[in-house]
Amino acid sequence: MADYRKTSDAIAALSPEQYHITQESGTERPGTGQYLYNKEPGIYVDIVSGEPLFASSDKYESGCGWPSFTKPIEPANVAELRDASLGMVRTEVRSAHGDSHLGHVFDDGPRDRGGLRYCINSASLRFVHRDDMEAQGYGAYLPQVEEVG
């Protein structure tokens, strides 16, 4: 099992936007994230810790302006917390090992796929293409990532 954790080096390597979103619970502007329209096969990992979070096969177009997923690839890596900021109650999603703010989860996702919508900031993620997963230590997740083509 890999050692996924937050390190000072990983924090220092973040861009100002990545830092604001992951460490200060910020949000990127809707429609601006680099992975919003990514349709390549692979997995999305925490930008800070590298822990596997979501698979491309669980990504879908929700129209909300952020990458949306129906479920985590590794549920133990995604912590859900009550968020009462902004005058409403939502469920914040954070990485379990890196403690990065990822986004929020809502119950308006596709009913036939569990009904959840994990609305995630691109800046909190790093995409690992299916072709690179084995070399980067994510080979165990290959069966959960559909090949395209």
d(CA 96, CA 76): 7
Place of tokens 């090992």: 97
| Whole-number percent of the chain with pLDDT over 90 | 90
pTM, entire model:
0.94
- Find the catalytic residue in 119, 123, 125, 128: 119
Q: Which domain range does residue 92 map to?
A: 8-143
pLDDT at 148: 61
For residue 63, the domain's CATH number is 2.170.150.20
Helix (H) or strand (E) holding 126: strand 125-129
Count Cα neighbours of 124 within 13 Å in the Cβ-side half-sphere.
Answer: 30
> What digits encode the pLDDT tens for the residues 2-12?
789 999 999 99
Residue 116 counted as domain residue: yes
pLDDT at 85: 81
Residue 69 counted as domain residue: yes
Please confirm, yes or no, whether 64 is among the known catalytic residues: no
> What digits encode the pLDDT tens for the residues 59-110?
999 999 999 999 999 999 999 999 888 788 899 999 999 999 999 999 999 9
Residue 3 counted as domain residue: no
d(CA 129, CA 89): 35
Q: How many domains does the chain have?
A: 1
d(CA 147, CA 149): 7
Residue 42 counted as domain residue: yes
Residue 149 counted as domain residue: no
Residue 65 counted as domain residue: yes
